[in-house]
């Protein structure tokens, strides 16, 4: 009898675990899309509001404040760090590298990327805690 239960329940348990993984991946993907869209809208509104010029000699176009690349990198790091806590430090190091590169390329000043990092972390946190900022999680 025990053998019959093991044979019948093992595939069911494996399928249940696979469904949980698929749901988790879908949740992470939806959060990433949400922070991507929220970041694009937020950064564009702030750039048009502040109209801060790029650093002297920059070849990048548009306004500088806040850094959209830094904002998106930190928003995604916040989401990825929540879904993969063992790799959280790695995600934030990558985001910091993106922010640093924007200053190194003379596309932004430090205040642009620091503001972007803070905004990105906030957007990521809001998306995770509210089930999405602009895109709500739906039952698919």
Q: Which tens digits make up the pLDDT trace of 9-63?
A: 445 444 444 445 555 566 778 888 888 888 999 999 999 999 988 888 777 788 8
Q: How far apart are CA 18 and CA 54, in angstroms?
A: 48
- CA pair distance 15, 13, nearest whole angstrom: 5
The pLDDT value recorded for residue 23 is: 58
* pLDDT at 111 exceeding the cut of 70: yes
3-state secondary structure of 20: helix
Return the C-alpha torsion angle 45, 130, 31, 120, nearest 10: 40
Task: Output the pTM of the full model.
Answer: 0.78
Q: What pLDDT, on the 0 to 100 scale, is given for residue 14? A: 45
User: Residues 20, 24, 27, 32: what is their CA dihedral angle, to the nearest 10 degrees?
Assistant: -160
Q: How far apart are CA 21 and CA 29, in angstroms?
A: 12
Considering the chain, what is the average pLDDT of its residues? 80
DSSP conformation letters of 26-73: HHHHHHHHHHHHHHHHHHHHHHHHH-PPPPTT----S--SSPHHHHHH
CA 6 to mean position of chain CA atoms = 41
Contact between 46 and 66 (Cβ < 8 Å): yes
- Mean pLDDT, range 86-90, rounded to an integer: 93
On whether the CB atoms of residues 116 and 99 are closer than 8 A, the answer is: yes
């Amino acid at each position: 009898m025990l053998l019959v239960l093991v044979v019948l329940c093992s595939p069911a348990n494996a399928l249940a675990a696979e469904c949980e993984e698929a749901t988790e991946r879908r949740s992470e993907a939806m959060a990433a899309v949400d922070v991507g869209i929220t970041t694009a809208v937020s950064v564009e509104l702030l750039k048009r509001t502040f109209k801060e010029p790029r650093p002297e000699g920059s070849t990048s176009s548009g306004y500088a404040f806040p850094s959209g690349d830094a904002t998106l990198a930190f928003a995604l790091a916040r989401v990825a760090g929540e879904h993969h806590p063992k790799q959280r430090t790695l995600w934030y190091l990558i985001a910091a590298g993106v922010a640093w590169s924007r200053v190194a390329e003379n596309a932004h000043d430090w205040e642009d990327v620091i503001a972007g990092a803070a905004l990105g972390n906030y957007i990521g946190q809001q998306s995770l805690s509210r089930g999405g900022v602009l895109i709500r999680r739906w039952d698919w």
